[in-house]
Amino acid sequence: MSRQHVLRIENLHASVGHKEILRGIDLQLKSGEVHAVMGPNGSGKSTLSHVLMGKPGYEVTRGSIFLDDTDLLALPVWERAQAGLFLVSQYPIEVPGVSLEEALRAAFDTTGLDASELHQRILAESDGIRFPLALLGRSLNVDFSGGEKKRNEMVQLAVLKPKFAVLDEIDSGLDIDALRDVSKRVEVATNNDRLGVLAITHYSRLLKELRPDRVHVLVRGEIAASGGPDLAEQLEKTGYAEYGVVEDPGKAVPSGILGLH
């Protein structure tokens, strides 16, 4: 069995421009665990994912992020990936001119991993997650549908086998079949590869598929509450009102219902 790892976020403060968005986040995630971070629009969920991954434009003003003994804040994006962190972005970037296999081969080469069976593994994982094999030769994410993008991210996750994955609103723009496939693949990784997951979501429907061990409620850049899976169920009933959040009703309706993707 693989080693136990820990992702430790302590007193994390981060700003965009001069506006403080994250105001003291403490979170500890271990191998094999699924933690959900739920929160209303604008509470800082995507900011947290970007700060974890090291996206430029976000300034960490206090606190720390460690993966085991590695100080992630001291590393550029690609070295954080090398250390074992993987982000499934809310809006996966399009990479014109680079196929999935080329991107993964580059990742394997920089890490010094054996890429000899890469092609077979990509085929097997694509098949498993129902990612159309015909798209494998195309530029990464270019003209992929929402579902294809997320299935494609699962192929990357399955092949790269990171220690921790941050899933930012992986449920947005997914129909229920795609959501189920993606959630199942993540769950298999938590069991077989001991992947630790930070699942960021506005809605509890993801958490019906991907059962969290812990649920954290992010409000105005702070963790307002933490609990077990029942906390997600409670949020589904009450929304974020008890945390003093009045949501724009236009935004509170899942985009899937309106067909807005």
Residues within the interface to ligand ADP (CB under 6 A): 16-17, 21, 39, 41-47, 57
* Shortest reach from residue 171's CB to ligand ADP, in Å: 13
Task: Identify which of residues 233 and 247 has a Cβ nearer to ligand ADP in the complex.
Answer: 247
Residue 16 interacts with which of ligand ADP, Mg ion, none, CB < 5 to 8 Å by class: ligand ADP
d(CA 53, CA 56) in angstroms, rounded, equals 9
Q: Which of 198, 173, 177, 183 is nearest to 259 (CA)?
A: 173
> How many residues line the site for Mg ion (CB under 5 A)?
2
Residue 54 binding: pick among Mg ion, ligand ADP, none (C-beta 5-8 Å cut-off by kind): none
Tell me how far, at minimum, the Cβ of 73 lies from ligand ADP, in Å.
18
Q: Give yes or no for residue 46 binding Mg ion (CB under 5 A).
A: yes
For the CB of residue 168, give the shortest distance to ligand ADP in the complex, in Å.
Answer: 7
| Residue 247 tokens, joined | 């949501």
3-state DSSP assignment of residue 168: strand
Q: Does 49 bind Mg ion (CB under 5 A)?
A: no
Q: Give the 3-state secondary structure of 25-63.
A: EEEEEECCCEEEEECCCCCCHHHHHHHHHCCCCEEEEEE
Residue 56's binding partner out of ligand ADP, Mg ion, none, with CB under 5 to 8 Å set by partner kind: none
| Phi/psi at 167 (5° precision) | -110, 110
Q: State which residue, 140 or 218, has the beta carbon closest to ligand ADP.
A: 218
Tokens read off for 209: 């598929």
